[in-house]
Amino acid sequence: MEPINKDDITVTKSYTEFSDDDPGIEYYIRHWSETPQTVEIRERVPESADIDAVGSHASGDLAWEKDGRELVFRHRIDTDGVTTAYTYTEELENNLSEWMGEPEIEVLDDADEAETVASAETVTTDEEGAASDEPSTEPTADDEPSGPDVAEIADAIEDMAGDENIAVGDENSTASDEESSVSDEATAASDEVVTASDEAVATSEETETSNDDSAASDEDSATGDDDDDGEIGSVGAALNTRFSDHDDRIEELLDRADTHEAKIDSLEAATAAHTDEIDAVKNTTKDHGETINTLAERTSQNEANIDDISDGIEAVADSLADLSDEADDRFEAADKQRDALAARIDDHADHLSDLAADIESISEDVATLEARLDDDGDIDERIADLEAEIDEFAQWREQITSTLMTVGGGDDE
């Protein structure tokens, strides 16, 4: 459950298992104000729970009370904080959601407390006024006093007790920081008050002795001594009541000191655990820092390598551009050479056509010659001569063809 904040008071509610008691609900009430405040917490017991099985784990002023089906806690906080708790059976954990509701919290202001104190002072004032109306039995100024003034003794003792109360209150205001010191101071204050009481009683006894001696000579003085004895008895009763209040207060402070010591031990253990965790985190951070530095160095080296590679790529790109330009120039030259070769081939084709016409003309001449040979006789010799001429012509034709092919091949190159 999230902490509840109200009027300089923070209430934290949690489930707790006690080693010496049933499980219960624990409240830690944090007090932020410099002045004491009274806090009242009301919590309704779930309908499924047995109200009689609910008990207060804390005792004294920190105990819980039952009001119908409500649990009520009311305490005046003048320290940094208090812890209180109530318990239930083991069924509490099974139905924990029903118990973890938000309670009613009321912070009472100092006006309510002041009204109570004012009422008490009014009663005291009325009693003093009534006492002043009674006939005075104290010796007059003309009478010689038989011993110390009892009223002055009572006032001195009251002042001493009041000073001790102030000291205890001042120490209590810093109880959250040094509870053990508060307990020691409170104990010392109690011892001083007891010492003051013993001195007061001793003084009273001396006064009684002095009064007894003077009673034999003066009856009026004896009557005054009897009144002084009554006043001393009243002062002693008041002191006993005040001592009892101081004892209760000291016991309460000691209980609070034990509670704070337990919390301090718990906080010290938690601090030690957190310290170990912090050291581990520091070591891990250091390792990560070294790893990051190594990665940073590698990154710098990689960036340098990338720059070198980029420079190489740019150089290769420039070379490729130059090669591309050169290739374009060569292709253009090759195109021109192809055009020239095509023109020469056309010329050679014309020459071949002319040669073919010449061959055809020669063939006609051969035919005419054969005819004439037939007419003239000795055909075989003429034929042989013609064949020889034809062979020569064929050789000549082959030479021409070879020459043309050679010329064509040179142009291709």
Could you tell me if 28 and 9 are in contact, meaning their C-beta atoms sit under 8 angstroms apart? no
Inside any domain, residue 135? no
* Listed residue (177, 191, 201) closest to 246, CA to CA: 191
Q: Per-residue pLDDT tens for 211-250?
A: 454 444 455 554 555 566 666 767 777 777 777 778 887 8
| β-pairing verdict for 65-67 and 70-77 | antiparallel
Q: Check whether residue 28 and residue 105 sit in a common domain.
A: yes
Q: Check whether residue 103 and residue 168 sit in a common domain.
A: no
Instruction: Quote the number of domains for the chain.
Output: 3
Distance between CA 310 and CA 313 in Å, rounded?
Answer: 5
Out of 13-22, 151-160, 377-386, pick the least confident: 151-160
Q: What is the pLDDT of residue 160?
A: 54
Dihedral pair phi/psi, residue 76, rounded to 5° = -95, 120
Q: Check whether residue 155 and residue 228 sit in a common domain.
A: yes
Q: Check whether residue 253 and residue 184 sit in a common domain.
A: yes
Could you tell me if 107 and 6 are in contact, meaning their C-beta atoms sit under 8 angstroms apart? yes
Q: Per-residue pLDDT tens for 79-95?
A: 889 999 999 988 898 88
Q: Check whether residue 98 and residue 222 sit in a common domain.
A: no
Q: Check whether residue 66 and residue 166 sit in a common domain.
A: no
- Buried-exposed string 351-374: b where 16+ CB fall within 10 A, e elsewhere: eeeeeeeeeeeeeeebeebeeebe
Q: Which two tokens stand for residue 359?
A: 């061959």
In this predicted model, which residue has the larger pLDDT, 205 or 327?
A: 327
Q: Check whether residue 352 and residue 243 sit in a common domain.
A: no
Which of 22-31, 106-115, 236-245, 275-284 is the most confident on average?
Answer: 22-31
Domain boundary among 60, 92, 111: 111
Inside any domain, residue 321? no
Inside any domain, residue 294? no
Inside any domain, residue 301? no
Q: Which two tokens stand for residue 262?
A: 């337990």
Q: Per-residue pLDDT tens for 271-317?
A: 888 888 898 888 888 888 888 988 988 898 898 999 999 898 989 99
Inside any domain, residue 316? no
Mean pLDDT value across residues 21-50: 93
Distance between CA 81 and CA 262 in Å, rounded?
Answer: 14
Q: Check whether residue 155 and residue 103 sit in a common domain.
A: no
Domain boundary among 88, 111, 134: 111
Q: What is the pLDDT of residue 14?
A: 94
C-alpha Rg value of the chain to the nearest Å? 65
Q: Per-residue pLDDT tens for 166-215?
A: 444 444 444 444 444 444 544 444 454 444 445 544 444 444 444 454 44
Domain boundary among 111, 126, 142: 111
Inside any domain, residue 299? no
Return the SS3 of 135. coil
Distance between CA 69 and CA 84 in Å, rounded?
Answer: 19
Sheet holding 37-44: strands in order across? 65-67, 70-77, 37-44, 104-108
Inside any domain, residue 145? no
Q: Check whether residue 160 and residue 283 sit in a common domain.
A: yes
Residue-averaged pLDDT of the chain: 75
Q: Band of the pLDDT at 361, cuts 50, 70, 90?
A: confident
Distance between CA 397 and CA 403 in Å, rounded?
Answer: 10
Alpha-carbon dihedral sign for residues 178, 182, 185, 187 = negative
Inside any domain, residue 365? yes
Q: Check whether residue 282 and residue 155 sit in a common domain.
A: yes
Residue 136 per-residue DSSP state? P
Q: What is the DSSP string of 85-126?
A: EEE--THHHHTHHHH-SPPEEEEE-HHHHHHHHHHHHHHHHH
With a cut of 80, say whether residue 73 has pLDDT above it.
yes
Distance between CA 193 and CA 84 in Å, rounded?
Answer: 31
Instruction: Return the CATH number at 17.
Output: 2.60.40.2960
Q: What is the DSSP string of 13-64?
A: EEEE--TTS--EEEEEEEE-SSS-EEEEEEEEPPTTS-GGG-EESS-GGG--
Q: What is the DSSP string of 256-297?
A: HHHHHHHHHHHHHHHHHHHHHHHHHHHHHHHHHHHHHHHHHH
Alpha-carbon dihedral sign for residues 131, 137, 138, 141 = positive
CA dihedral in degrees (402, 407, 409, 410; nearest 10)? Answer: 140
For the chain, report the end-to-end CA distance as a whole number of angstroms: 99
Sort 144 into a burial class: Cβ within 10 Å, 0-12 / 13-18 / 19+: exposed
| Residue in the structure block whose two tokens are 């001592």 | 243
Question: How many C-beta atoms surround the C-beta of residue 85 within 10 A?
Answer: 22
Cβ contacts of 41 within 8 Å, gap of 6 or more = 11, 27, 29, 72, 73, 74, 103, 104, 105, 106
% of the chain at pLDDT higher than 70: 67
Q: Check whether residue 168 and residue 243 sit in a common domain.
A: yes
List the domain range (segments joined by +) for residue 83.
4-111
Q: Check whether residue 106 and residue 173 sit in a common domain.
A: no
